[in-house]
Amino acid sequence: MTNVAQAFSPNGALAKAIDGFSPRQAQTDMALEVATAIEKKSSLIVEAGTGTGKTFAYLIPAFLSVNASASGDELNTKIIISTGTKNLQEQLFHKDIPLVKKALASNVQVALLKGRANYLCRYRLAQYQETRGQLDANALNDLVKVKTWANSTQSGDIGELVNVTEDSNVFPFITSTLDNCLAKDCPDYEHCYLVKARQKAIDADLIVVNHHLFFADMALKDTGFGELIPKAQVMVFDEAHQIGDIASDYFGEAFSTRQLVDLCTDVMQIYRSKLTDVKQLGLAAEKLQKTCQEFRLLFNYDPERGNWREKYQQLHCAQKFQRLKVDLDFLYQVIKLCVSRNEAIDNCFDRAVNLLSQYEVMANVDVSGMSFWYETTPRHVVLHLTPLSVADKFSAYVKESGAGWIFTSATLAVDNSFAHFAQHLGLLGANELLLQSPFDYQRQSQLIVPRYLPEANDKNRAEQLAQLAQSLIAASNGACFMLFTSYRVMHQVAEILAENIDNPLLVQGQMGKRVLLEQFVDTDNAVLLATASFWEGIDVRGDKLTCVIIDKLPFASPDDPLLQARCEEVRRQGGDAFATIQLPQAVIALKQGVGRLIRDVSDRGVMVICDNRLVNRPYGQTFLKSLPEMKRSRDLTQAITFLETINDNSQRNN
């Protein structure tokens, strides 16, 4: 403990390593609590407000615990740090951890581990170089870039491919899935980048993963198939507010037409290159592919979510779903005749068996305690079976691990309580710590809830939002985010603004998220319009962002089938579904959106929330109590004056 406190002192390790470092009591308090959780192998929930410095507050005690075990003071300690996104993973691994390592003069071995879809599969790359017929012109062009990069990469991490777009069609052909990986039967197994990355993780003291990988591994271990992430004594979850829903997904099941189409694609590739004498392979695969396309046509053109139990009751849907089973079974029978002719077709046989099993799960819609729901993409349908609660399973896992578990985020508490987060994951015995942000929100910011806005469902709402935004954009000279709860309203407002302002307008969907953000930062007076994925994990500092406009309170769609099922379960037990599920979820989401505005002690800006329910509904107080202590007003002219002052100061400083 003394070493931890010393590291954060005015003359400590961080002060020597970081120019301008100044001790923050909240950061030291968090670090000491984390150290206690590591030492006692207990659970800790920490909300650390923006600017607390939570990353160093868990990294320092983590490193010191590994150093202590290495010096023989205690048993060997292995630590897993799980983050919300791959971007945060890379920031930790390439920026924050090297700094801490240097500050502590530590020789802790660190590894970065991502999911298999992030690593080049040499075997599949070689396969699809032989049969390029399935790739369009853009994908063929990207394949050339991949081949060039593949000759020099050491890690095989496709994140290095900066000249290939994130949504390129080439990636499914050069990476493996759990379904199509040949594992030890693969001729390239000894040179496999994924195997090498996992081996590094096994050998490391500290492993950086992301939540999806962690829970995918947890679900695998639960089925007895082995584990990807080595057993650790300490688990740290950054951006922990995300893990409840992610855990639910991985403790459930999914069945996708994409899996079926991928199987058909691989079977046809094997038929064309290796098993040309078995024409039935190609015919059976084409037949199933066509049925998958017909099944997708039963759903709306635009991507949607819905209740699979209800959809399955429709006769034409049930019939087409059963047709999938017939065609999959036919493909299975044909593949069965080819078993043992090569590793690839054997793998396809195993996948067909698993898919038939998954089909039966999705056809048995009468199982209780589960939500059966579907979601569609432009080309595919995914059927989900999700448990309504993961509390029992997750809490048992935590208890059996005998490890220390730390859960932290800037947004975990609702009205200063962790009950929602703790109950969702069954963490009812965990220690709790709520740390306020060190920022002076009263001086640095204003919260405006404009008067006289039309109701959320009013047909003139987009026009009113655009009109309100124009005056704010003019006052701030751009440097503005508009965050929406729906794509439809976002596009409506974007169309109106495009005709009425001269500022560069950046709209989500025009380009990749990272490129869009870079353009916003690099372009003077830009305005960015975005939906859910920009409400969190975005860090724009200084006068590049001085105004954030949120269109309405981010309640989840009442039509969401998983939400509906959870609410029904709460009501069945006599509880209040709105108070225990819908309201806490919306509060956490709003806190994330509001957190985009003030990112540094020198930042100043205006937060505009265009929803009268904040002030005229009783639950509005729950939202307001959960937000930072900003100066509040309903007068838009105050916001405009404040923004003009910021803008004037910025121009003088430049």
Please tell me which residue, 110 or 138, carries the higher pLDDT value. Answer: 110
Residue 115 pLDDT > 80? yes
Percent over 90 (pLDDT), the chain:
69
Residue 111, beta-bridge partner list: 207
Nearest to 111 by CA among 73, 71, 157: 157
User: With contact defined as beta carbons under 8 Å apart, do 353 and 332 qualify?
Assistant: yes
What's the gap between Cα 214 and its chain centre? 12
pLDDT (tens digit per residue) in 41-68: 999 999 999 989 999 999 999 999 886 6
Tokens describing residue 480: 């503005």
- Cβ-in-10-Å burial (0-12, 13-18, 19+) of 451 comes to exposed
Alpha carbon distance 142, 135 (integer Å): 10
User: Phi then psi for 44, rounded to 5 degrees?
Assistant: -140, 130
Residue 133 pLDDT > 70? no
Residue 337 pLDDT > 60? yes
- The average pLDDT across 163-171 equals 82
Sequence-ordered list of residues with C-beta below 8 angstroms from that of 430, at least 6 positions apart, any chain: 42, 43, 44, 45, 405, 407, 422
Report pTM. 0.89
Provide the strand spans (E) within 379-420. 381-387, 404-409
Sequence-ordered list of residues with C-beta below 8 angstroms from that of 166, at least 6 positions apart, any chain: 512, 514
User: Alpha helices of 308-409 — where are they, by DSSP H?
Assistant: 308-312, 315-336, 343-363, 391-401
Residue 298 pLDDT > 70? yes
Residue 416 pLDDT > 70? yes
Predicted confidence band of residue 73 (pLDDT cuts 50, 70, 90): very low
Q: Which residues of 163-188 are buried (b: 16+ CB within 10 A; e: fewer)?
A: ebeeebebbbbbbbbebbbbeeebee
pLDDT for residue 433: 97
- The average pLDDT across 333-353 equals 93
Q: What is the mean pLDDT of the chain?
A: 90
pLDDT for residue 1: 67
pLDDT (tens digit per residue) in 229-274: 778 999 999 999 999 999 998 999 999 999 999 999 999 999 998 8
pLDDT for residue 225: 55
Alpha carbon distance 168, 139 (integer Å): 7
Predicted confidence band of residue 70 (pLDDT cuts 50, 70, 90): low
pLDDT for residue 651: 66
User: Structural domains in the chain?
Assistant: 2-109+204-250+391-435 (3.40.50.300), 116-194 (no CATH), 253-387 (1.10.275), 441-653 (3.40.50.300)
Residue 132 pLDDT > 70? no
pLDDT for residue 138: 81
Which residue type is seen at 517? L
- The average pLDDT across 141-170 equals 87
Alpha-carbon torsion, ordered 517, 520, 523, 528, to 10 deg: 150
- The average pLDDT across 319-344 equals 95
Alpha carbon distance 227, 231 (integer Å): 8
DSSP assigned state of 72: T
Residue 137 pLDDT > 50? yes
Nearest to 546 by CA among 462, 641, 466: 641
- The average pLDDT across 342-367 equals 94
Residue 571 pLDDT > 60? yes
Predicted confidence band of residue 609 (pLDDT cuts 50, 70, 90): very high
Q: Which residues of 560-593 are buried (b: 16+ CB within 10 A; e: fewer)?
A: bbbbbbbbebbeeeeeebeebbbbbbbbbbbbbb
Q: How far is CA 527 from CA 163, 356, 421, 509, 611, in A?
A: 26, 49, 34, 14, 21
Sequence-ordered list of residues with C-beta below 8 angstroms from that of 592, at least 6 positions apart, any chain: 241, 410, 411, 535, 536
Per DSSP, the three-state class of 207 is strand
pLDDT (tens digit per residue) in 266-280: 999 999 988 999 999
Residue 404 pLDDT > 60? yes
